[in-house]
Structure 1
Amino acid sequence: MSSLPTLLSPYTLLAMTTFTTAQIPTLTGRTVIVTGANSGIGRVAAGALAARGARVVLAARDLAKGQAAAAGMTGDVEVRRLDLADLASVRAFAEGCVGPIDLLINNAGLMIPPLGRTADGFELQFGTNHLGHFALTNLLLPQIQGRVVTVASSAHRAGKIDFADPNWERRPYRAFPAYAQSKLANLLFTAELHRRLAEVGSPVLATAAHPGLAATNLLGHLANDRSLRQRLQTTLVNRFAQSGDDGALPTLYAAVADVPGGSYAGPDGFFEGRGAPKLVGRSKAARDGNVARRLWTVSEELTGVTFPLAAQPTR
C-alpha cells in the first residue's frame, strides 16, 4: 500500500487555494485513527474522512458517546475505547490495532480544567494532551505509513516547559499556564518527531494544526451552568469564533494537503482566530530544538515508551 503523501501528490497546489472538505481526496482502503472523535473538531474531521471512503477508528474515552458520534457518520466507522489519561489504556488500544495505519490524528485534549491527575499521576492536561499522545504515537509508529497530525493551540505562545515541575507538584496549580505548557509540548513533540523520522529515512510525515478560536465542548470548563455555557458559546461563535466545522479545517488540511513535514496549519484570519487554513508560524519556544529533544527524553522517561524506528537500509 502506498503512503498517504504519495496518494496526495495531485494536491500540490492546495496551499495556494482555499481549502474545503471537497478537496479531500478519495481515501478508500485507507485507515485513519482520530482521538477524541466523539465531539468537537475531532468528530467533524473523522466524519469528513469517513465520507471520503476511509476506514475511520474513533478513539474515545466514552464508548457510548463514541457510538452516538459514529451513528451520525457515513462510511466505515469503528469505535474503540482509549483513555489518554491512563497509559495502560493507551497500551491496550495500541496492542489492539492490527495492520497498517495511514493517518493518526492526535486530536483529543482538555482545556483549563480544575487540577486533576491521570491514572499514572501526571497533571491532567500535560498527561492527556501531551504524554498520552506521545505514548500512543510511538506505540503505533511501526504501523503508520502516512502521517501523524497533532492538534495544538495558539495558546502555545504563552507556554513554557517547566522541566523542574512539569506536573505541577511543587507549585500552586494554574490552569491556563498548565494548558499552554501542554500545547507547547504538542508542537515540540511534532518538531522532534519530524526530525527523528527524517533522520531514519522514514516516509512518514509529522504535522500539526490549531483550530483558531472554535466554539467546541472544550469551553465546558469555563462555565458550570449549562445555560450560561451555551450563551457563552453562542456569543463566541457569533462575534469572535468560528464553528466546529470550520475549526476542523486546519486539522484536515494538515492531514491531506501536500505540506512539508514539521509544518503547522491554522486559520488565516485576524490573529489566526478564524478563517481558511494555511501554514502558520509558531513561537520561538516552539522552534527550540534543544528543548524539543529534552522534552522527548523526559517524555520517554515518564511514559516508558521510546521511539521505535531504526534507520532505513541504504540500497
Structure 2
Amino acid sequence: MTGWTADRIPDQRGRVAVVTGANSGLGLVTATELARRGARVVLAVRNTAAGEDAARRIGGDVEVRELDLASLDSVRGFVAKLAVDHPAIDVLVNNAGVVLLGPRRVSADGFELQLATNMLGHFALTGLLLANLAAARESRVVSLSSITHRNAHLDFDDLMFERGYRATRAYGRSKLATTVFGIELDRRLRAAGSPIVSALAHPGLTRTNLTPRAWEHRGRLGRWIARAGLAATQPVEQGALAQLCAATEPGVRGGQFFGPSRLWETRGRVTEARISREAADPAVGRRLWAVAEELTGVTYL
C-alpha cells in the first residue's frame, strides 16, 4: 500500500456506492472520489439540505437520500426505497458517526447514542442490504473504526453505559463494537461462501467537523481546545484514503484493516492497521452479533 493515493482508484463506472454521512468530512471526500471515478453515489445523510449542497459540490452521478442511523425506523425506510431502486449495490461505506463529550444521550430506540449511530444502525443497514450487495460482483462493505478501539472494552452487562457514563469511553466502546462487527461479518461471509468482502479502515487523527461539534457545549474554552486539537491532525483528504483504499483497491481481502502508517497510526500513508485482541476475539464477535440482532431485530448470516 506504499504511496497509495486516490489516483489509484480504478474506474467505477457502472458501480453503485452508498456512503453514509456523506455530506461532510471523510464521507464527503469518499463520495467525491468515488463519483470522480464514475460511480453512481448515494449520499445517505441525516440532513438532506446539507446533502443536496454536498451533491452540488461533488457533481457527477449522485443522489441524496435521508438516513438517520440513530433510528431503526429510518434505517428500514431508507432500505425499503433504496433496495428497489438499486437491486445491486457494489460498495457500502459505513462512514457516518457521532462524537459526544457531553452528558449521556439516547437514540430514538433508547440506545446510547454513540453506539446506536456508529455501530447498531450500520449493523441493521448492512443486514438489510445484504441481498443487494450479494447481487453485485465483487461487492464490499467498509466499516469505519478508530484507533480509540484499542483502549476500549465491551461490557455486555452494561453495553448502553447506564452506569458511570463517560462520553469518551462510550465513543471508544462504539468504535470497538464497529470493529468487532466488521471482523465478525467477514467470518460469517466466509463461512457462508459469500463473495462479499468486509474490510475495515480508520482515519487516524483527521481534521473533520466532529471534534468542534463535540466541544460546542464547553463554550469558549471548548472551542479553543477544539482548534488546538485540530492543529495537530492531518487533512481530511489524507484521512479518507484508508477507507477509499479498503473500498476500491483490487485484491483487498475480507478482514483487512487499513489506517495511517506514522506516529502510532495517527497520520501518514495508508498501511495495514493493528486490531486489538478483544476486537479480533471470535467469542466477542459471536456475543456482540447475538446482542445486535436482538437489539435491532435484524437477523442475517
Superposition TM-score, scaled by structure 2 size: 0.93
> What is the aligned partner in structure 1 of residue 7 from structure 2?
22
Within the candidate set 121, 127, 143, 2:110 is matched to: 121
> What is the aligned partner in structure 2 of residue 305 from structure 1?
298
Counterparts of 2:30 and 2:299, CA distance in 1: 28
Contact 2:28–2:54 under 8 Å retained in 1: yes
> What is the aligned partner in structure 2 of residue 157 from structure 1?
150
Within the candidate set 46, 50, 64, 2:49 is matched to: 64
> What is the aligned partner in structure 1 of residue 90 from structure 2?
102
Counterparts of 1:204 and 1:54, CA distance in 2: 18
Counterparts of 1:155 and 1:299, CA distance in 2: 21
In structure 2, the CA distance between the partners of 1:27 and 1:228, relative to structure 1 (3 Å rule), is farther
**Matches for 1:1-315 after TM superposition, within 5 Å:** 15=1, 17-97=2-82, 98=84, 99-114=87-102, 115-144=104-133, 145=136, 146-169=139-162, 171-219=163-211, 220-224=213-217, 232=225, 234-238=227-231, 240-257=232-249, 258-307=251-300
Contact 2:216–2:223 under 8 Å retained in 1: no
Counterparts of 2:226 and 2:101, CA distance in 1: 17
Q: 3-state SS of the aligned residue for 1:166?
A: coil
In structure 2, the CA distance between the partners of 1:233 and 1:26, relative to structure 1 (3 Å rule), is farther
Which AA in structure 2 matches 1:59? A
Q: Deviations over 1:114-146 (max 9, x none)?
A: 311111100000111110000000000111130
Q: Which runs of 4+ in 1 moved over 6 A?
A: 225-230
Counterparts of 1:71 and 1:225, CA distance in 2: 33
Counterparts of 1:136 and 1:212, CA distance in 2: 25
Per the TM alignment, residue 233 of structure 1 is displaced from its structure 2 partner at its CA by 5.1
Counterparts of 1:54 and 1:105, CA distance in 2: 13
Which AA in structure 2 matches 1:263? Q
Counterparts of 1:224 and 1:71, CA distance in 2: 31
Counterparts of 1:286 and 1:150, CA distance in 2: 13
In structure 2, the CA distance between the partners of 1:149 and 1:110, relative to structure 1 (3 Å rule), is same
Contact 1:31–1:54 under 8 Å retained in 2: yes
Contact 1:152–1:183 under 8 Å retained in 2: yes
Q: 3-state SS of the aligned residue for 2:63?
A: strand
Counterparts of 2:157 and 2:224, CA distance in 1: 40
Per the TM alignment, residue 158 of structure 1 is displaced from its structure 2 partner at its CA by 1.4
Count of matched residue positions in the alignment of Structure 1 and Structure 2: 291
Which AA in structure 2 matches 1:183? K
Counterparts of 1:278 and 1:156, CA distance in 2: 17
Q: 3-state SS of the aligned residue for 1:89?
A: helix
Q: 3-state SS of the aligned residue for 1:268?
A: strand
In structure 2, the CA distance between the partners of 1:178 and 1:237, relative to structure 1 (3 Å rule), is closer
Q: 3-state SS of the aligned residue for 2:90?
A: strand
Which AA in structure 1 matches 2:16? T
Counterparts of 1:275 and 1:53, CA distance in 2: 27
Q: 3-state SS of the aligned residue for 1:253?
A: helix
Per the TM alignment, residue 260 of structure 1 is displaced from its structure 2 partner at its CA by 1.3
Contact 1:215–1:233 under 8 Å retained in 2: no
Moved more, 145-154 or 226-235: 226-235
Per the TM alignment, residue 54 of structure 1 is displaced from its structure 2 partner at its CA by 0.2
Which AA in structure 2 matches 1:43? L
Q: 3-state SS of the aligned residue for 1:79?
A: strand
Contact 1:237–1:243 under 8 Å retained in 2: no
Moved more, 273-282 or 295-304: 273-282
- Could you tell me which runs of 5 or more consecutive residues in structure 2 were left unpaired when the two chains were aligned: none
Counterparts of 2:105 and 2:223, CA distance in 1: 24
Per the TM alignment, residue 235 of structure 1 is displaced from its structure 2 partner at its CA by 3.6
